Amino acid sequence: MIGIDRHRHFAHRLAWLYMKGEFPDTDLDHKDCDPTNNRFANLREASHAQNQRNQPTPRHNTSGFKGVHFHKQRQRWVAQIKIKGQQTYIGIFDTPEQAHQAYCQAASECEPQFARFA
């Protein structure tokens, strides 16, 4: 955050303003997921959903794969993805690797430029 005239601004939004001459109308996404890398080449306009899709695997993830969790009752692995604000069931699989492969295919078909698989 950078303070200007008692207003706080995110540095990446100020970088966009400097390069484009106006603040972005939407969220800004860091292509490499590094919030400290505010180079203009690393920034792109994105909806909130697109920005979230480009996030790395959450730390609390226990499967080790993005979009995959273990279903205790069925003793199998479930793949899910969020599309247009709705959690979408992809399928249930014997291994986390199979579930992750299905997640990666769904993410690539949905919005390939924002898909992040790890």
Residue identified by tokens 């009752």 is 73
How far apart, in whole angstroms, are the C-alpha atoms of residue 110 and residue 60? 24
- The tens digit of pLDDT for each residue in 48-107 reads 888 888 888 888 888 989 999 999 999 999 999 988 888 999 999 999 999 999 999 998
Structure tokens at 29: 């996404």
Q: What is the CATH number of the domain that holds 103?
A: 3.30.730.10
Backbone angles phi, psi at 29, to 5 degrees: -110, 135
Structure tokens at 58: 């959450």
Asked whether the CA dihedral 106, 109, 115, 118 is positive or negative, the reply is positive
Mean pLDDT score, 7-24? 94
pLDDT band at 109 (very low <50, low <70, confident <90, very high): confident
pLDDT band at 23 (very low <50, low <70, confident <90, very high): very high
Question: According to the model, what pLDDT value does residue 29 have?
Answer: 93
113 has a pLDDT exceeding 80: no
Quote the number of domains for the chain.
2
| Same domain flag for 42 and 76 | no
Question: According to the model, what pLDDT value does residue 50 have?
Answer: 85
Greater pLDDT, 82 or 13: 13
**Full domain range(s) for residue 75:** 61-114
C-alpha 37, offset from chain centre:
16
How far apart, in whole angstroms, are the C-alpha atoms of residue 42 and residue 46? 12
Adjacent-strand bridge partners of 71: 76
| Same domain flag for 66 and 30 | no
| Same domain flag for 42 and 81 | no
Question: According to the model, what pLDDT value does residue 96 have?
Answer: 95
| Same domain flag for 109 and 65 | yes
**Nearest of 55, 117, 53 to residue 82 by alpha carbon:** 53
pTM above 0.85, yes or no: no
